[in-house]
A = this chain, B = another copy of it.
């Protein structure tokens, strides 16, 4: 059964909207170190969406490819070439319009699968604004927030867990891409650097030299496709439960 909206005809979509939820992957175009591609957040959110679609009989909408601005303390920041950032308002309007249109087409529920930390506040804003105007239910989660403690413990057996904000281009993201798109991981180019010390403030203009030169904020050395799979399964199970809880 076809689960990707981009591959569906309009009649296939029409026949599905009344009873199937839509899953909207949201990513970014952002540096992910020497060893991972710029599209890690899309790869992850899109593939998790496909798995979730199997689980809840959903339809996966075309991914939002460009996301909100990378911040030094969670994504390395805007100074890396290839990090292409949208203004907050731009992302809000894009998601708002898409939700409005899904509502007009009769969709009842949209699950936003977020793959980029900095998107969160703006996705929530769009959801709030759209659901105030249109009769549609929406939920949003970032995949790392859904990984249970025991899975975290298993993934971080060899190295300490640095906290989710530092897990940029690090062990968990690398494992995810190893699982979903191994051909895009270049561990041979990976350079181990000291774990970035968390900055508890934001400074603008962003200052060069704050984050490790290669980009990751913590170690990716012990990444594996198997760890990626373990996390992906846990995330999908958690999303399915969220869907059950939030759909009514």
Decide if A71 is an interface residue (CB 8 Å cutoff). yes
Decide if A192 is an interface residue (CB 8 Å cutoff). no
Taking a contact as CB atoms under 8 Å apart, the answer to whether B8 and A38 are in contact is yes
Least CB separation from A123: chain B residue? B202
- How many angstroms from the CA of A7 to the CA of B203 in the assembled complex? 28
Minimum C-beta distance from A163 to chain B (A): 12
Taking a contact as CB atoms under 8 Å apart, the answer to whether B9 and A33 are in contact is yes
Taking a contact as CB atoms under 8 Å apart, the answer to whether A202 and B29 are in contact is no
Decide if A226 is an interface residue (CB 8 Å cutoff). no
Decide if A122 is an interface residue (CB 8 Å cutoff). yes
Q: Besides the contacts A10-B82, A85-B97, A137-B205, what 8 more A-B pairs have beta carbons closer than 8 Å? A: A6-B38, A9-B31, A29-B62, A62-B66, A83-B101, A94-B94, A131-B204, A201-B242
**A-B residue pairs in contact (CB < 8 Å), sample of 27:** A5-B39, A7-B39, A9-B37, A10-B38, A10-B82, A10-B83, A17-B81, A29-B61, A63-B65, A81-B105, A81-B106, A82-B105, A83-B105, A86-B97, A88-B88, A88-B92, A88-B122, A89-B93, A90-B90, A90-B93, A90-B94, A130-B204, A132-B205, A137-B203, A138-B203, A200-B238, A200-B242
Residue total for A at the interface (Cβ-Cβ under 8 A): 88
Residues of chain A in range 53-82 having any CB-CB distance to chain B below 8 Å: 61-66, 69, 71, 78, 80-82
Q: Which of B43, B84, B104 contacts A105 (CB 8 A)?
A: B84
Taking a contact as CB atoms under 8 Å apart, the answer to whether A124 and B14 are in contact is no
Taking a contact as CB atoms under 8 Å apart, the answer to whether B37 and A6 are in contact is yes
Minimum C-beta distance from A51 to chain B (A): 17
Minimum C-beta distance from A244 to chain B (A): 12
Taking a contact as CB atoms under 8 Å apart, the answer to whether B201 and A246 are in contact is yes
Quick one: which of A84, A89, A138 has the most chain B CB within 10 A? Answer: A84
Taking a contact as CB atoms under 8 Å apart, the answer to whether B202 and A141 are in contact is yes
| Binary per-residue interface labels of chain A (94-105) against chain B in the complex, 1 for a CB within 8 Å, 0 otherwise | 101110011011
With A38-B10, A203-B139 already in contact, the answer to whether A84 and B65 are too (CB < 8 A) is no
- How many angstroms from the CA of A181 to the CA of B192 in the assembled complex? 41
Minimum C-beta distance from A59 to chain B (A): 10
